[in-house]
Amino acid sequence: MNQDLDRLQPYPFEKLNRLKAGITPPAGLEHIALSIGEPKHQPPKFIAEELISHLHGLANYPLTKGRIELRQAIADWLTRRFALPSGSVDAERHVLPVAGTREALFAFAQVVVERNDKPLVVMPNPFYQIYEGAALLAGAEPWFLNTTARNGFLPDYDAVPESVWQRCQLLYLCSPGNPTGAVTDIATMQKLIALADRFDFIIASDECYSELYFDEQTPPPGLLQAAAAMGRNDFHRCVVFHSLSKRSNLPGLRSGFVAGDAQILERFLLYRTYQGCALPPPTQAASIKAWQDEKHVVVNRDYYRQKFAAVIEILKPVIAVEQPAGGFYLWLKTPGNDTDFTRELFAKQNVTVLPGSYLSRDAHGHNPGAGYVRLALVAEMDECVEAAQRIHEFLKSF
């Protein structure tokens, strides 16, 4: 057996199930789960229809590289969304569809990490757990960058020792971040690109929450945009990960893409050819329609905006709560321990949240997720409001 498998941590939800075991919440209150980041808004009908009308495509093996029409729809979307120079994203060389970003974020580390002298994969902490597992199974060590309220929940890249950058082969960036919603600005991305040049590493920018933001005038920037603004139109060392899961409420479709540096993507395609994770033809057809339409995304964003406003209004009198810059999570500082808070809230109000310490690791002397809980505002408005009211009640007596 691969010994590195023993180094994988249990997934946060396994820990959560253990935490809640043996507790019987009040029978009169329906359970509300704010713990899982699974979008629950209705997916657009026209996308489902496109999927169904292409079921005949199941008779063919799809190409790992995907249809050119899909790659072109993605290249066009990237160019529009991030105001990239016209023609800079070449659908042949710069884009690869993936079956959701989860598998792609994992597979990417297997492709880029060279098992030489003690490779490091640098990542935020708290973080999306796939980054850590990807690093470990690629034969690297994760290096955690703690994100705290003091630094606006963004890593302090200036504080990273040079010896760490020297061993860094891959850096995961997550903007807007899961779980904090913090957005990395263009200047910071450009600083990272300069560091990547100096120390010879690759940047994997997980932008799967990039379409969920609150100010319609200031969408979160992306890494390719930062690269292009430096005149780096070949996106050298830069790769971005995007998904239809959050943008279009299609987590079950398993559709996303990776885009950027053509040389890296060529190697990634080679790896993926062996892993065999091509998108089924109906999925590709539906994905084309999804990337071509922006209306449903605007409506989706507005719905989140309304839900955050309503929930924050209810929680404000009893706890410090701020709207994040992006994403669909509230990252709440708990009075006391995050696991006690989670257990008690479940016991008294039948609401499940996720302890922040399950999303982070002890690093550099402390655990930056401890003392926080993550609330995913993914359910419909009524349910989110009901959950907020119950948390309000709970906090009054906590």
Calculate Rg over the CA atoms of the chain.
21
Decide whether 272 or 390 has the Cβ nearer to ligand PLP.
272
* Least distance from ligand PLP to the Cβ atom of residue 61, Å: 23
Examine residue 206 and tell whether it contacts ligand PLP (CB under 6 A): yes
Tell me the torsion sign for CA atoms 294, 233, 163, 8. positive
* Least distance from ligand PLP to the Cβ atom of residue 376, Å: 9
Decide whether 324 or 349 has the Cβ nearer to ligand PLP.
324
Decide whether 286 or 395 has the Cβ nearer to ligand PLP.
286
364: left (phi over 0), alpha (psi -120 to 50) or beta: left
Site for ligand PLP in 102-121 (CB under 6 A): 102, 105
Q: Which helix (H) or strand (E) holds 196?
A: helix 186-199
Site for ligand PLP in 33-92 (CB under 6 A): 37
State the Cα–Cα distance between residues 97 and 265, nearest whole angstrom: 11
CB 206 within 8 A of CB 349: no
Best CA proximity match to 357, nearest among 70, 12, 32, 46: 12
Site for ligand PLP in 327-356 (CB under 6 A): none
State the Cα–Cα distance between residues 208 and 244, nearest whole angstrom: 8
Best CA proximity match to 153, nearest among 122, 186, 129, 177: 177
Rounded alpha-carbon distances, angstroms, from residue 296 to 45, 201, 218, 387: 10, 37, 18, 26
Site for ligand PLP in 117-146 (CB under 6 A): 128
The footprint of ligand PLP on this chain (CB under 6 A) covers a number of residues equal to 14
* Angle formed at CA 175 by CA 388 and CA 234, multiple of 5 degrees: 160
* Least distance from ligand PLP to the Cβ atom of residue 131, Å: 9
State the Cα–Cα distance between residues 141 and 373, nearest whole angstrom: 26
Examine residue 272 and tell whether it contacts ligand PLP (CB under 6 A): no
Examine residue 222 and tell whether it contacts ligand PLP (CB under 6 A): no
CB 363 within 8 A of CB 339: no
* Least distance from ligand PLP to the Cβ atom of residue 243, Å: 3
- Which position among 43, 100, 326, 356 is part of the footprint of ligand PLP (CB under 6 A)? 100
For the range 9-17, what are the long-range contacts, defined as Cβ-Cβ under 8 Å and sequence gap of 24 or more? 9/129, 9/132, 9/133, 11/129, 12/129, 12/354, 12/358, 12/359, 13/354, 15/355, 15/358, 16/342, 16/352, 16/354, 16/355, 16/358
Examine residue 210 and tell whether it contacts ligand PLP (CB under 6 A): no
Examine residue 184 and tell whether it contacts ligand PLP (CB under 6 A): no
* Least distance from ligand PLP to the Cβ atom of residue 92, Å: 23
Examine residue 178 and tell whether it contacts ligand PLP (CB under 6 A): yes
* Least distance from ligand PLP to the Cβ atom of residue 394, Å: 26
Decide whether 102 or 361 has the Cβ nearer to ligand PLP.
102
- Which position among 129, 180, 245, 360 is part of the footprint of ligand PLP (CB under 6 A)? 245
Coil, strand or helix at 115 = coil
Q: Which stretch binds ligand PLP (CB under 6 A): 95-103, 159-167, 187-195, 217-225?
A: 95-103
Examine residue 324 and tell whether it contacts ligand PLP (CB under 6 A): no
Residues forming contacts to ligand PLP in the complex (CB under 6 A) are: 37, 100-102, 105, 128, 174, 178, 206, 208, 243, 245, 251, 256
